[in-house]
Chains A and B, each alone.
Chain A
Amino acid sequence: MEFTAPEIDWLLVSPLLAVFAAALVGILVEAFTPRALRRPVQAGIAGTGLLAALVLTVVVALELPSQGGGAAHGEVTVTGAVVVDGPAVFLWGLLALVAVGGLALFTERRVDAGLPVFAGQASVPPGADLGSGPGIGTGGAGETPGDGGAPASYDRWEHTEVYPLLTFAVAGMMLFAAAGDLLTMFVALEILSLPLYLLCGLGRRRRLLSQEAAMKYFLLGAFSSGFFVYGAALLYGYSGTLSLAGIAAAVGAGGGPTVLLLAGVALVMVALLFKVGAVPFHAWTPDVYQGAPTPVTAFMAAATKIAAFGAVLRFLYVAVGDARWDWAPLVWVVAILTMLGGVVLAVGQSDIKRLLAYSSIAHTGFLLTGVLGLQGADELGVDQVSSLQAVLFYLATYGVATVGIFAVTTLVRDAGGEASGVDRWSGLGRTSPLVAGAFAVFLLSLAGIPLTSGFVAKWSVFASAAGAGAWPVVAVAITSSIVAVYFYVRHIVTMFFADPPADPPAVVVPSPATSVTIGVALLATVALGVVPGPLLELAGDAGSFLR
């Protein structure tokens, strides 16, 4: 058998390579750098890699060749494994941006009196690295300071492997959004998931919760990736190829055993819908969002959703776009269940991170509504927002607001860590108007109130879905948006008009990195609400997927 070396367009995949390189260098450095230097060095390497990826993404975006009469631009490279097209590059840029924000939150140690966010070592028993001695954080205002017992040095230890783990996750996400065949997609899925499972379990505060979140996320995530692989095997059986374009050709030609196609699409979609947190595969979301260290939640909530929706769109539009009438009913049902489930369950939540988790489930439903807006280029009216454009814009606004809102969540603290109970936040608007104000703006954006980015995003996905005839879903989406406004606004009212509790939580001043992240997210949220045009145009210029 003859072996031909694959042709790789190095420039086009350079953003991916930059992030992978940063992760690998990070691992090497971890082995050779003295403990005291590790944190600045690791953060520097990760930051350099991500910023380099951002710059290279812009370069690649300007270099993309036009294909197929201008509807799509980009190129298939690495023998079909990586498709660098407009949407992929848009998502790369977005992921790199969100990851820089996440990295900034990872470096934070001022909010917890000099203690890092992450455990000293993964093997350190719960509470042994909190300075005050053993105290097992199990929730609420958990940690009771004990006396002594633990080596004092654990306090200053930090698990600096979190930086390479973060970069690996970002690399996997970027590959996930640009995968050209199901095998690459599966490998990318695991590259992004495995570091996230570990990151979830490394919280310094509330260690047991953090470990439990890691285990739940891991077991359910592994379960869902089992579905992905079996679905990929069935689609391979149907079409004789793993490449998305090849599957599309087989679907277009018809003739294969339809049962394999339908079962394969269903199984792959189970795994992808799990990753985006859609009902009925959402059970992990609240537990993991609440249990994971908040900087990890911020990064994961935003970036995983961006990458996974990139993969959902690519799989549904490119591989099985011609079988639209087979999968659309499934997505209709899931979208409706997701929106209703998300908002109904969010109403009764008393923990802020859990509330935001259910709100993120509802947002998954809104994004799926946008996915339903798929139409051929010829069916699309003049000036109509295409569904891809709408979903990309939605992902950008959602990602930015999510990083911002979780960053603000880290600032309000009790003795045992973050004060995450909703009632602990009452009256915050009087004592710290700045923090409460920022939180309120993010909440309004998530609720989709005009003049914030969330409104434009929601409007565009609803418009695109309605244009494609998914009226019932849009009706449910509008109804659940209204219900959602109730619990977002209720929280704002509590913050500004209720009396503070007798022992109000402390509001800490974070390090410049966190402050800048919150500031930029706030600015972007408002700016995109007032002048959404440029970003919408950019998402539109991304064109369609390259087949």
Chain B
Amino acid sequence: MDDLTPFLVLSAILFSIGCVGVLVRRNAIVVFMCVELMLNASNLAFVVFAKQHGNLDGQVAAFFVMVVAAAEVVVGLAIIMTIFRSRRSASVDDASLLKL
């Protein structure tokens, strides 16, 4: 079998980029895109492991994750949209009414 390590490393890098992006970016839409990047990094890992183990579970899982990610987009964009309508801003720093 081919060496699959590079793909796993790529998926780990993508996951890390997404993770750091969520933590440092200000715009809710960009934060959300970074979350999607994390999910897609997981999909890559799932598919690589499916090839390594020679069964289909991982590929099926990747499909499920895609469907769930789509549902998450619907809900997420709706929420960001309503907050943008009332505040004219999608920055996560502006949403700071709730604090200690």
Contact = CB atoms under 8 A, between A and B. Distances in A.
Given A198-B75, A230-B15, A212 B95 contact: yes
Closest 6 CB pairs of A and B: A226-B38, A233-B45, A240-B53, A237-B49, A229-B42, A287-B98
Interface in A200-218: 201, 207-209, 211-216, 218
Contacts of B82: 122-123, 201, 211, 214
B42 A237 contact: no
A237 B45 contact: yes
Interface of A: 122-123, 125-126, 136, 138-139, 183, 186-187, 190, 194, 197-198, 201, 207-209, 211-216, 218-219, 222-223, 225-227, 229-230, 232-234, 236-237, 240-242, 286-287, 290-291, 348-349
A393 B42 CA distance: 36
A209 B57 contact: no
A216 B80 CA distance: 10
Given A138-B97, A208-B97, A183 B86 contact: no
B98 A209 contact: yes
A127 to B, nearest CB: 9
Contact of B75 (A197, A208, A291): A197
Nearest to A234: B45
B53 A226 contact: no
B9 to A, nearest CB: 13
Contact of A236 (B46, B68, B76, B98): B46
Contacts of A209: 97-98
A286 B39 CA distance: 27
Contacts of B52: 237
B14 to A, nearest CB: 10
A84 to B, nearest CB: 21
Contact of A219 (B35, B38, B46, B60): B35
B49 A226 contact: no
Nearest to A222: B35
Interface of B: 8, 11, 15, 18-19, 22, 28, 31-32, 35, 38-39, 41-42, 45-46, 48-50, 52-53, 55, 57-58, 60-61, 64-65, 68, 71-72, 75-76, 78-80, 82-83, 85-87, 92, 95-100
A242 B35 CA distance: 22
Q: Interface centre among A230, A233, A236, by most B CB within 10 Å?
A: A233
Contacts of B100: 286, 348-349
Given A222-B76, A230-B38, A230-B45, A183 B64 contact: yes
Contact of A222 (B45, B46, B55, B72): B72
Q: Interface centre among A232, A237, A348, by most B CB within 10 Å?
A: A237
Contacts of B55: 240-241
A214 B72 contact: no
8 contacts: A190-B68, A190-B72, A201-B79, A211-B79, A215-B95, A219-B32, A230-B41, A236-B58
B89 to A, nearest CB: 11
A201 B87 CA distance: 14
B16 to A, nearest CB: 10
A123 B55 CA distance: 46
Contacts of A348: 100
Contacts of A234: 45
B42 A212 contact: no
Contact of A125 (B39, B72, B76, B85): B85
Q: Interface centre among B22, B42, B55, B71, by most A CB within 10 Å?
A: B42
B42 A232 contact: yes
A367 to B, nearest CB: 24
Contacts of A197: 75-76, 79
B61 A215 contact: no
B83 A215 contact: yes
Contacts of A212: 83, 95-98
A66 B97 CA distance: 53
A216 B98 contact: yes
A226 B31 contact: no
Contacts of A186: 64-65, 68
A511 B90 CA distance: 38
Contacts of A237: 8, 45, 48-49, 52-53
A236 B46 CA distance: 7
Contacts of A233: 11, 42, 45-46, 49, 58, 61
A194 B79 contact: no
B61 A236 contact: yes
B2 to A, nearest CB: 16
Contacts of A242: 57, 61
Nearest to B65: A229
Contact of A215 (B64, B71, B79): B79
A215 B80 contact: yes
A198 B82 CA distance: 11
Contacts of A201: 79, 82-83
Contacts of B86: 125-126, 136, 207-208, 211
A49 to B, nearest CB: 21
A219 B31 contact: yes
A244 to B, nearest CB: 13
Q: Interface centre among A214, A215, A240, by most B CB within 10 Å?
A: A215
Contacts of B65: 186, 229
Contacts of A349: 100
Given A190-B72, A219-B22, 18 more contacts: A138-B97, A212-B97, A215-B28, A215-B79, A215-B80, A215-B83, A215-B92, A219-B35, A223-B22, A225-B72, A230-B15, A230-B41, A234-B45, A237-B49, A286-B98, A286-B100, A291-B98, A349-B100
B39 A218 contact: no
A197 B73 CA distance: 12
